[in-house]
Amino acid sequence: MVTALDSARTVIGQVMDPEIPALGIVDLGIVRDVRVEGSSVEVDITPTYSGCPAMEAIRTDIENRLGEAGFAPVLVRTVFEEAWSTDWMTERGRQMLLESGIAPPESSGSNAAVLCPRCSSEEIRLVSEFGSTACKALMACTSCGEPFDRFKVVEP
Amino acid sequence: MTAEDHFRYVLRHADDNLVLAQRYGEWITRAPELEEDIALGNIGLDHLGQARALLTHAGEIEGQGRGEDALAMFRPEREYTNLTLVEQPNGDFAFTMARALYFDSYQLGLWAGLSDSEDPTLAGIAKKAIKETRYHHRHSAGWVIRLGDGTEESHGRMQSALDRLWPYTAEMFDADDLDRSMATEGIGIDPSSLREEWIRTVTDVVNEATLTMPTGPPIQTGGRRGIHSEHLGHLLAELQWLQRSMPGLKW
């Protein structure tokens, strides 16, 4: 039997990160809790970075989708504790990043090398510790010559 | 402890971040290279995010319906209680990096201390922010070292920036009654306890940069009491102009 909580979770699973459209917010690891009571639902989300400008869009998207699915009222809360880290990203999330040309973060404590997402070369260089969004750094592959985004590791 | 004290305490840390975020924003399209333009924009955004969370929290503590926007846009200069350091104009790139090194090193200690606050929201914001501050510190320290240990020109400019900003650093550790009472309540920390570690952190970077630690007395400052240098008024005029002209405007 599909409970109301299951359907709320399914709906939330369809919300994508507007800055990385390949990545769902559940796979990104920012959905902390979902509580359903009758037709009302409360969702706790946590920002990847304090100033992440996507939070507003994500909140609106969650509200709209849950509203369309018949939930009312819908309350989306921002929680800071405990602070997000890239360890909360799912394996599927990492795979989706890789497929969209973004080098995914390794798990904390892992010694895995960063590979070029296009040619898998280990011959890469850091261009800038800051990239197109707060969560990414800019790198370049010295084998194939392509620049690429790297999702920064945020330790727990 | 009164709610008023608690409100004022959270607000002063919000103000530091908001004013500094505005200064970083002024660099956008003017940084010495494209990657730096993006870096300074990103760092400013982190400070803005920290400010927004703190302003929202302060408004909730105050309980008079003032949200982040009301607190940012409709308080006059005398009600801003940020440090004088963060309102100093950007100057050249070395000057901005010196200000960043001083302030980032301070925030490392501040957030670590506030992570144990009895105020769970403040502790949560601090635990989030410290990760961002470590990244900022790596950036500012990296540049101070690169410029200090660079050419004769860059070395001279970096040393001059450290020297000129030095008199503003004492204010960071100058505990007032509010700091002390918040520390006693377990909500805040006594900033004078951060000084020793701060000196060590900054000295390590300055030595590696082949620069000299500045000395000299602090200037008289009153940022925490709302007494500012002439620069804050100009900054707020730009920040607040639109909302002052057309209150409540949205897009």
* Spatial contact of A45 and A70, defined as CB atoms under 8 Å apart: no
Contact B52, A142 (CB under 8 A): no
Q: Each residue of B232-251: b (16+ CB within 10 Å) or e?
A: beebbeebbeeeeeeeeeee
Q: Which of B84, B86, B64 is nearest to B18 (CA)?
A: B86
Per-residue pLDDT tens over the stretch A131-154: 988 899 999 999 999 999 999 999
Residues of A in contact with B48 (CB under 8 A): 51
Read off the pLDDT of residues B166-191 as tens digits, 9 standing for 90 and up: 999 999 999 999 999 999 999 999 99
> Given this model, what pLDDT does residue A22 score?
84
Closest among A117, A108, A107 to A139, alpha carbons compared: A117
Question: Any chain B CB within 8 A of the CB of A119?
Answer: no
Average pLDDT over residues A116-128: 94
- B135 contacts in A (CB within 8 Å)? 129
pLDDT at B251 over 80: no
Structure tokens, B54: 């703190």
pLDDT tens digits along B198-242: 999 999 999 999 999 999 999 888 999 999 999 999 999 999 999
Q: What is the band of B72 on the pLDDT scale with cuts at 50, 70, 90?
A: very high
- B139:A129 CB<8 A: yes
Q: Do B131 and A154 touch (CB under 8 A)?
A: yes
Cβ(B121)–Cβ(A80) under 8 Å? yes
Please compute, for residue B182, the number of CA atoms within 13 A of its CA located in the half-sphere on the CB side.
27
Question: pLDDT tier at A19 (50, 70, 90 boundaries)?
Answer: confident
In whole angstroms, what is the distance from residue B34 CA to residue A116 CA? 22
- Kindly tell me the burial class for residue B229, based on how many C-beta atoms sit within 10 Å of its own C-beta (0-12, 13-18, 19 or more): middle
Nearest neighbour of B35 by CB, restricted to A50, A52, A127: A127
The H-or-E segment that residue A12 falls in is helix A4-13
Cα distance between residue A35 and residue B228, in whole Å: 47
Q: What is residue A132's predicted lDDT score, i.e. its pLDDT?
A: 86
> What is the pLDDT, as a whole number, of residue B245?
96
- Picking from A130, A133, A149 by the largest number of B CB atoms within 10 A of its own CB, the best residue to mutate is A130
Span B241-249, average pLDDT: 94
Q: Calculate mean pLDDT across residues A118-123.
A: 94
Position A20 confidence tier, pLDDT thresholds 50, 70, 90: confident
CB B24 within 8 A of CB B40: yes
Q: How far apart are CA B95 and CA B85, in angstroms?
A: 11
CA distance B124 to chain A (A): 5
C-alpha span between A102 and A117 (Å, rounded): 6
Percent of chain A residues past pLDDT 90, beyond the cut: 80
Residues B150-178: what's their mean pLDDT? Answer: 98
In this predicted structure, what is the pLDDT of residue A2?
81
pLDDT band, residue A30 (cuts 50/70/90): very high
Edge-first strand order for the sheet with A102-103 is: A102-103, A147-151, A136-141, A124-128
The rounded distance, in Å, linking the Cα atoms of B127 and B121 is: 10
What pLDDT shows up at residue B189?
Answer: 98
Q: Among all residues of chain B, which has the CA nearest to that of A127?
A: B35
CB-CB neighbours of A67 under 10 Å: 14
DSSP annotation of B173 reads: G
Q: How many residues are listed for chain B in this entry?
A: 251
DSSP string, A43-91: EEE--SSTT-THHHHHHHHHHHHHHHTT--SEEEEE--SSPP-GGGS-H
According to the model, what pLDDT value does residue B206 have?
98
Burial of A59 (0-12, 13-18, 19+ CB in 10 A): middle
The stretches of chain B forming alpha helices (DSSP H) are: 3-25, 34-62, 68-73, 84-87, 93-114, 120-148, 152-165, 177-185, 195-208, 231-245
Distances (CA, A) of B81 to B3, B73, B169, B210, B230: 17, 14, 15, 35, 14
| Low-confidence winner among A13-27, B10-24, B62-76, B102-116 (lowest mean pLDDT) | A13-27
Judged by CB atoms closer than 8 Å, whether chains meet at B49 and A129 is answered as no
Are A62 and A76 contacting, i.e. CB atoms less than 8 angstroms apart?
yes
Chains A, B: CB pairs < 8 Å: 68
Is the CB of B132 less than 8 angstroms away from the CB of A83? no
A81 contact residues in B (CB cutoff 8 A): 120, 123-124, 127
Query: Which residues of chain B make contact with A138, given a CB cutoff of 8 A?
Result: 35, 38
pLDDT, residue B3, reads: 95
Tell whether A114 lies on the interface with B, counting CB pairs under 8 A. Answer: no
The structure tokens 């080098």 sit at A103
Per-chain mean pLDDT for chain B: 97
Q: Which pLDDT band, with edges at 50, 70 and 90, does B250 fall under? A: confident
Distance from CA of B48 to the nearest CA of A (A): 6
Confidence category of residue A71, pLDDT binned at 50, 70, 90: very high
Least reliable range by pLDDT among A39-53, B17-31, B81-95, B172-186: A39-53
Residue identified by tokens 């392509």 is A146
Section A87-101 average pLDDT: 94
Residue of A nearest to B40 (CA): A130
B85-105 in b/e burial notation, b at 16+ Cβ within 10 A?
A: bbbbeebebbbbbbbbbbbbb
Are A130 and B131 a contacting pair at CB < 8 A?
Answer: no
pTM for this structure? 0.93
Asked if B135 lies within 8 A of A52 by C-beta distance, the reply is no
pLDDT band at B66 (very low <50, low <70, confident <90, very high): very high
pLDDT of residue A21: 85
- pLDDT at position A110: 84
Looking at residue A16, its pLDDT comes to 94
Among the residue ranges A11-25, B52-66, B185-199, the one predicted with the least confidence is A11-25
Q: Which pLDDT band, with edges at 50, 70 and 90, does B99 fall under?
A: very high
Interface test with A, best of B127, B131, B143 (most A CBs within 10 A): B131
Whether B122 contacts B56, CB under 8 Å: no
